């Protein structure tokens, strides 16, 4: 076999953990672990949702040989040189797993490599990309017949991380308890409102239904102290806005116990740092989540959810993709842009959650506005008291999911391009 380089292009925390991880595993399974024959590199591009820890996460994967952080991306895109002046083999494949689909076109041309794009929702540059692995057949419906041979339906990469997961070491919910997941986000723009709102909702639900148990799967890019700071009224003014009692971090003395976010009303919320947290999330009756990639993950798991977008502070939401996200985060003028972008968004809002976008209908509820704990809590209690509603939501979520085995199929496409 001729030595080859496989270059993975990716960007945000969701893509690194749910797309890159299974694909690099599948590549090693099919191409072997001999680094003198197959070398896997990861290059990160800018993402408004990035935390700065994505490079470290990618480098922690044993299948990956080298990683370049986002701060050096534009230099690489323009001149084809990495910050460490990586060498490149004469044969290789660029695999797109997040970012802008023009990036593999440019980089593939510079390196003289074949290009493979995973297209979850939309495929572009049909004439310039060599192969596409698409989540569902609908992605390729409008493709010109002369490019149809480039398209392969591979399924949903989000499903890959669900297999072969260990059972969490916390006590599993019994038949007399209800497990509810809380996903407030990973960036300050979402956590500022998301943490106090969701914890206030949890307190309301627990007061009405004491057998409920709550967990937060902590994003790998977020440390516990930072998460807890958003529940502290001394550090986050929105704690009072949502009439939340406040909370603090509890680190257990025993290693086998999970850290807790304990509210001032005595509710203990378990903090799970295993990544991915699909094993525990799959046991949840329902989840409270912000918008973003987590709605796709929950949808792939078939877990019912309520999607929350509080608007108590119009400039708080700055996690948009592309140009809007860059404008909203500009120093000095970012607040003005954020307010304008979000005002326009609320006027023209379409579907927000990925399962709803895939189905083009509201499978899971999307709540937008000046949300308060009681109204959302009552909606959760109604769903818990009518399990047939949750079952119907679960059924519809499973209907819109892609097929399984996407990572293996993408790896097979890469192998075909190498051959």
Quick: pLDDT tens for 99-143.
Answer: 999 999 999 999 999 999 999 888 999 999 999 999 888 888 888
pLDDT of residue 346: 55
172 pLDDT tier (thresholds 50, 70, 90): very low
Which has the minimum average pLDDT: 64-68, 162-166, 378-382? 162-166
Which has the minimum average pLDDT: 317-321, 328-332, 407-411? 317-321
Which residue from 18, 34, 9 is spatially nearest to 107, judged by alpha carbons?
9
Does residue 163 lie within any of the structural domains?
no
311 and 205: one domain? Answer: yes
**Domain residues for 200?**
178-400
412 and 396: one domain? Answer: no
216 and 344: one domain? Answer: yes
* Separation CA 265–CA 207 (nearest Å): 10
Asked if residues 125 and 101 have their Cβ atoms less than 8 Å apart, the reply is yes
Which has the minimum average pLDDT: 215-224, 310-319, 374-383? 310-319
Does residue 206 lie within any of the structural domains?
yes
| First vs last C-alpha separation in the chain | 9
pLDDT of residue 349: 57
Question: Region 151-170: what's the mean pLDDT?
Answer: 64
409 and 356: one domain? Answer: no
Strand partners, 181: 215, 287
Domain with residue 86: its CATH number is: 3.40.50.2000
Does residue 362 lie within any of the structural domains?
yes
Which has the minimum average pLDDT: 74-78, 238-242, 344-348, 353-357? 344-348
Does residue 117 lie within any of the structural domains?
yes
pLDDT of residue 108: 96
User: Is residue 318 scored above 60 in pLDDT?
Assistant: no
161 pLDDT tier (thresholds 50, 70, 90): low
Length of the chain: 419
Question: Region 78-106: what's the mean pLDDT?
Answer: 94
200 and 250: one domain? Answer: yes
143 and 60: one domain? Answer: yes
The 10s digit of each residue's pLDDT in 28-46 is 999 999 999 999 999 999 9
Cα radius of gyration (the chain) = 22
Does residue 351 lie within any of the structural domains?
yes
pLDDT of residue 164: 41
User: Is residue 84 scored above 70 in pLDDT?
Assistant: yes
pLDDT of residue 169: 41
170 pLDDT tier (thresholds 50, 70, 90): very low
Question: Region 46-52: what's the mean pLDDT?
Answer: 77
Does residue 97 lie within any of the structural domains?
yes
User: Is residue 225 scored above 90 in pLDDT?
Assistant: yes
150 and 206: one domain? Answer: no
Does residue 169 lie within any of the structural domains?
no
108 and 78: one domain? Answer: yes
Does residue 167 lie within any of the structural domains?
no
Q: Which of 191-200, 351-360, 393-402 holds the top average pLDDT?
A: 191-200
Percent of the residues in the chain that have a pLDDT greater than 70, as a whole number: 85
28 and 123: one domain? Answer: yes
367 pLDDT tier (thresholds 50, 70, 90): very high
Arithmetic mean of pLDDT over the chain: 86
Question: Region 69-85: what's the mean pLDDT?
Answer: 93
User: Is residue 343 scored above 60 in pLDDT?
Assistant: no
User: Is residue 227 scored above 90 in pLDDT?
Assistant: yes
User: Is residue 284 scored above 80 in pLDDT?
Assistant: yes
12 and 61: one domain? Answer: yes
C-alpha distances (whole Å) from 275 to each of 9, 15, 163 are 21, 13, 13
127 and 186: one domain? Answer: no
Contacts made by residues 87-91, CB under 8 angstroms, sequence distance 24+? 88/5, 89/3, 89/4, 89/5, 89/39, 91/2, 91/3, 91/4, 91/5, 91/418
Question: Region 159-168: what's the mean pLDDT?
Answer: 50
pLDDT of residue 342: 55
Better-predicted residue by pLDDT, 321 or 265: 265
Better-predicted residue by pLDDT, 339 or 389: 389
Asked if residues 243 and 210 have their Cβ atoms less than 8 Å apart, the reply is no
Asked if residues 319 and 187 have their Cβ atoms less than 8 Å apart, the reply is yes
The 10s digit of each residue's pLDDT in 191-219 is 999 999 999 999 999 999 999 999 999 98
User: Is residue 419 scored above 50 in pLDDT?
Assistant: yes
Better-predicted residue by pLDDT, 349 or 7: 7
* Separation CA 63–CA 164 (nearest Å): 17
Number of domains in the chain: 2
Question: Region 300-318: what's the mean pLDDT?
Answer: 77
275 pLDDT tier (thresholds 50, 70, 90): confident
Residue with tokens 């500022």: 192
193 and 94: one domain? Answer: no
Q: Rounded to two decimals, what is the model's pTM?
A: 0.67
């Amino acid at each position: 076999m001729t030595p080859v380089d496989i270059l993975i292009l990716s960007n945000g925390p969701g893509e690194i953990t749910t797309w890159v991880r299974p694909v690099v595993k599948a590549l090693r399974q099919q191409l072997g672990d001999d680094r003198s024959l197959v070398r896997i590199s990861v290059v990160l591009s800018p993402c408004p949702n990035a935390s700065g820890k994505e490079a470290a996460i990618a480098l922690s994967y044993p299948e990956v040989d080298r990683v370049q952080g986002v701060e050096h991306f534009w230099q690489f895109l323009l001149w084809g040189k990495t910050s460490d002046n990586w060498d490149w083999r004469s044969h290789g494949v660029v695999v797109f797993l997040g970012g802008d689909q023009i990036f593999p076109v440019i980089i593939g041309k510079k390196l003289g490599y074949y290009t493979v794009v995973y297209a979850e929702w939309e495929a572009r540059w049909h004439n310039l990309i060599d192969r596409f692995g698409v989540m569902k057949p609908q992605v390729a419906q409008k493709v010109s017949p002369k490019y149809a041979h480039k398209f392969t339906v591979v399924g949903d990469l989000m499903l890959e991380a669900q297999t072969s997961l260990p059972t969490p070491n916390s006590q599993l919910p019994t038949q007399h308890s209800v497990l509810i997941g809380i996903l407030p986000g990973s960036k300050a723009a979402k956590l500022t409102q998301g943490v106090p709102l969701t914890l206030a909702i949890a307190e309301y639900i627990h007061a009405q239904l004491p057998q409920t148990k709550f967990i937060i799967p902590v994003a790998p890019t977020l440390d516990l102290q930072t998460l807890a700071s958003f529940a502290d009224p001394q550090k986050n003014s929105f704690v009072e806005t949502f009439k939340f009692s406040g909370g603090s971090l509890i680190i257990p003395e025993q290693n086998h116990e999970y850290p807790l976010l304990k509210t001032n009303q005595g509710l203990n919320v378990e903090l799970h740092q295993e990544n991915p947290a699909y094993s525990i999330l799959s046991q949840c009756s329902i989840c409270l989540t912000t918008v973003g990639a987590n709605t796709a993950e929950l949808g792939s798991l078939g877990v019912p959810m309520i999607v929350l977008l509080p608007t108590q502070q119009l400039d708080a939401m700055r996690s948009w993709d592309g140009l809007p996200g860059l404008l909203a985060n500009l120093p000095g003028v970012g607040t003005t842009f954020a307010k304008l972008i979000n005002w326009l968004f609320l006027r023209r809002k379409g579907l927000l959650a990925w399962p709803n976008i895939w189905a083009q209908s509201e499978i899971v509820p999307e709540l937008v506005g000046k949300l308060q704990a009681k109204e959302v809590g009552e909606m959760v209690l109604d769903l818990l008291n009518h399990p047939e509603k949750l079952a119907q939501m679960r059924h519809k979520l499973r209907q819109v999911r892609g097929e399984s085995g996407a990572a293996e199929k993408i790896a097979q496409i890469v192998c075909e391009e190498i051959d």
